[in-house]
């Protein structure tokens, strides 16, 4: 089923992100983001390449192919690095065009395509789930830009959807007794294993 609410939230998130990027002065593009070792230009380049990787998956679903999001993780990193070295206006234009291509792919996928799979880094996911993954990328990395957008700005559709997904995996990341004790207000928060 077409996830209209998540698509609408993702399109709105694209617009907020693009407005933030447009609001950065050129010299701010090369300043550090909140991600270690990445400038804002790296984050912007990553978001553009991520959009293109999703477009690739959706185009595959349209023709009945199950595609890998990133055929090469090494190439993915090289593309981000290369993109980060472009001019501020090239970065802005690239991000806008990548978002437009992805939104067009969402519009073009027929009703029967939303349960088709694509293969992301964590494994096979439906096209409907992949839209949510894009929303996550936009919302989290918008914060990482360190340009005034904060988790308190996240829309409810993202927060509620992320909570449902993250809470399912929580028991696998903590000692169950410590977790239950904390949930009951009787102990300290558990130490969580990495995702």
Q: Which residues contact 10 (CB under 8 A, 6 or more apart)?
A: 106, 131, 134, 135, 138
State both tokens at 29.
């593009």
Distance CA 95, CA 169 (A): 32
pTM (two decimals): 0.91
pLDDT in tens, 122-134: 899 999 999 999 9
> 4-154 — its CATH code?
1.20.120.450
Q: What count of other Cβ atoms lies within 10 Å of the Cβ of residue 178?
A: 14
Q: How confident is the model at residue 169, as a pLDDT?
A: 87
Q: Which residues contact 21 (CB under 8 A, 6 or more apart)?
A: 44, 91, 92, 95, 145, 147
Q: How confident is the model at residue 10, as a pLDDT?
A: 98
Q: Which residues contact 171 (CB under 8 A, 6 or more apart)?
A: 179
> Which residues of the chain have a pLDDT value below 50?
none
Q: How confident is the model at residue 145, as a pLDDT?
A: 97
Q: Which residues of the chain form CATH 1.20.120.450?
A: 4-154
- In 3-state terms, the chain is what percent helix, strand and coil (to 5)? 65, 5, 25
Bridge partners of 125?
118
Cα 13 → chain centroid:
10
pLDDT in tens, 6-43: 999 999 999 999 999 999 999 999 999 999 999 999 99
Q: How confident is the model at residue 71, as a pLDDT?
A: 80
Cα 168 → chain centroid:
19
Helix (H), strand (E) at residue 116: none
């Amino acid at each position: 089923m077409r996830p209209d609410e998540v698509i609408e939230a993702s399109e709105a998130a694209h617009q907020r992100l693009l407005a933030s990027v447009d609001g950065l002065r050129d010299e701010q593009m090369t300043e550090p983001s909140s991600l270690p070792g990445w400038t804002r230009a790296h984050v912007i380049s990553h978001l553009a390449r991520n959009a293109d990787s999703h477009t690739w998956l959706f185009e595959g679903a349209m023709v009945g192919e199950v595609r890998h999001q990133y055929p090469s993780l090494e190439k993915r990193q090289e593309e981000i690095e290369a993109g980060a070295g472009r001019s501020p206006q090239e970065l802005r234009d690239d991000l806008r065009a990548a978002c437009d291509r992805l939104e067009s792919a969402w519009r073009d996928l027929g009703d029967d395509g939303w349960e088709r799979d694509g293969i992301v880094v964590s494994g096979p996911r439906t096209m409907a789930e992949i839209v949510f993954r894009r929303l996550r990328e936009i919302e989290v990395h918008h914060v990482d830009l360190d340009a005034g957008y904060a988790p308190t700005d996240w829309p409810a559709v993202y927060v509620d959807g992320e909570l449902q997904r993250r809470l399912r995996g929580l028991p696998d990341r903590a000692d169950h007794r410590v977790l239950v004790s904390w949930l009951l207000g009787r102990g300290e928060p558990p130490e969580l294993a990495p995702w």
